[in-house]
Structure 1
Amino acid sequence: MLRLSNLTVLRGECPVVDSVSFDIDQGEVIGLIGPNGAGKTTLMRAALGLIKHSGTSSISSRPHKERGKLAAFMPQSREIAWPVPVETLVTLGRLPHLSLGAAPSETDRAAVSAALDALDLGGYRNRLSTELSGGEQARVLLARALAQDTPLVIADEPIAGLDPAHQIATMNAFENMAAEGRSVLVSIHDLGLAARHCTRLIVMDRGKLIADGAPLDVLTPDLLRDTFGITAFLTETADGLIFLPLQVTA
């Protein structure tokens, strides 16, 4: 789905992303975690070829049209500038699949409907996107990415600002995509949701990849202390992992 090899992004002479390498396979939900300023957003944008980088990305080297069929991107910015209906905005996700000037087909309309339903937006089709709350707009933008129907979805903090029910629903939607054979790379600050819903966690700190593996293997006391500055309770139950931050370390 995606292969990064020694991906590096410089800000001046300072590496914001420093020689990061990993592969994403089919059917994975990968949580990209780390403290603020770790380089997560920069890595996502570089992997898609949206910013200059050295090293290689299997997607950024492709032509623009082809990239849009390989990966969908939901950026961190949630601003919707155009007062267009929700359904119209989500349909924009189908553009990589349309010939210039072509109208959406039945397949396109079905993909849009499926994306709206997956994010509990079926009743919002005709509402103006600019009249929605910030959390609702975030779900609309994620629906646009889902409607793109790509093998890989890259989402930058998609659950930020959502209420708990829609946070869980969004993560469930990612899990459903993985079950269908697609993959998701999602940056997320809620380590509890990451532990429960991600098949794998990649940890970044100060531009470097410092851990990569199953949540139970990655979220060790040492890593939580050294990278996030916290102690936490983590246990495996029949319903999944339970993660509870306890306190800030000195």
Structure 2
Amino acid sequence: MSLLSVSKLNVARRGRDILKDVSLEIGTGEVVGLIGPNGAGKTTLMRAALGLIDGEGHSNLAAMTARERARAVAWLPQARELAWPVDVETVVTLGRLPHLAMGQRPRDEDAAAIEQALEDMSLSDMRKRTVTRLSGGEQARVLIARTLAQQTPLVVTDEPIAGLDPAHQIATMKIFEGLAHRGKAVLVSLHDLGLAVRHCTRLVLLCDGEIKADGPADQVLCASNLSAHFGITAHFETGPEGPVFQPLEVLE
């Protein structure tokens, strides 16, 4: 079943084309890695698909009401600002707002979702700590937990593992895999191609506002695409423990 359907999406800013005729489908059971160099249009694609910025074309999510969209997709942007001195559990609880009526207190199912999100992001022992006193990586984990607590069929997240230590980067990607195994889907933008290769079911390469490749990692990250769109060489092999990708050199 399709959870995200984008067709012929175009976005222009200040007379410059940012997205050009982009079409994309994401179905249940997928972890789709959105990759590409800086300035490729990845964040713009996510925001336009969510209806957060104007564009020409169609997105099933942008066509929804705000409340419908909040129950269909959880959005975790790249910016991570936690300005209010509230505790971790309070921030994670905000993920349940789309499921509650105005003024309604969290129910048992909400408490269960919050508890699971805290556990998934290794935050159970930090629930009463003030978020403004946490490190940047810890704050990132809190915001990911808030996104997980929303329990939507689709998660769209922009560079969620930036700033996390390696253990939490891997753990977060495995959580996304787990969501896909339970019939949900994730669209995640990544610069770490090694993690993208290991944990995404499919990669979408965006460059100059256009989708240049869409498919399995070994096809998308072929030598010609790495050269043309990233300007690098890399080593890519699949061994007993799965695929391994390592950038090697910058091309002159």
Do both proteins adopt the same fold according to a TM-score greater than 0.5, normalized to the shorter chain? yes
d(CA) in 2 for partners of 1:187, 1:99: 32
Look up the equivalent residue of 1:118 and give its one-letter code: D
Distance (Å, rounded) in 1 between the aligned partners of 2:85 and 2:213: 42
Q: How does 1:14-163 map to 2 (within 5 A)?
A: 14-163=16-165
- Once the two structures are superposed, residues 148-190 of structure 1 have per-residue CA deviations (whole angstroms, 9 ceiling, x without a partner) of 0000000100000110000000001000111111100000000
Residue equivalent to 1:9: 11
Partner of residue 181 from structure 1, selected from 180, 183, 188: 183
Deviations 1:46-69 (A, max 9, x none): 111111111000101000000000
Show CA shifts across 1:199-236 (max 9, x none): 00000001111100011111100000110000000011
Report the Cα offset of residue 14 of structure 1: 1.3
C-alpha distance in structure 2 between counterparts of 1:162 and 1:173, whole Å = 14
1:35-83 per-residue CA deviation (whole Å, 9 max, x = no partner) reads 0000000110111111111100010100000000000000000110111
- Structure 1: segments with no counterpart, 5+ residues: none
Distance in 2 separating the partners of 1:96 and 1:41: 23
**1:67 is matched by which residue type in structure 2?**
R
Could you tell which deviates more after superposition, 157-166 or 231-240?
A: 231-240
Identity in percent? 56
Larger deviation: 6-15 or 58-67?
6-15
Query: 1:121-142: per-residue Cα shift (whole Å, max 9, x none)?
Result: 1111100111100000011001
- Shift, 1:13, TM fit: 2.1
| Amino acid in the other structure paired with 1:191 | L
User: CA shift at 1:113, angstroms?
Assistant: 0.7
Instruction: Report which stretch shifted further, 226-235 or 5-14.
Output: 5-14
The residue number in structure 2 matching 1:246 is: 248
Alignment match, 1:197? 199
Deviation, structure 1 residue 22: 1.1
| Partner Cα distance (1:56, 1:237) in 2 | 41
Q: Give every structure 1 segment of 4 or more consecutive aligned residues whose post-TM-superposition deviation is greater than 4 Å.
A: none
Counterpart Cα distance in 2 of 1:176 and 1:123 = 23
Opposite residue 144 of structure 1, the aligned amino acid is R
Q: What is the TM-score of this pair, normalised by structure 1? A: 0.99
TM-score by length of 2: 0.98
Letter in 1 for 2:27: D
| Corresponding residue SS for 2:142 | helix
Within 1, Cα distance between the matches of 2:9 and 2:237? 34
Secondary structure of the corresponding residue to residue 179 of structure 2:
helix
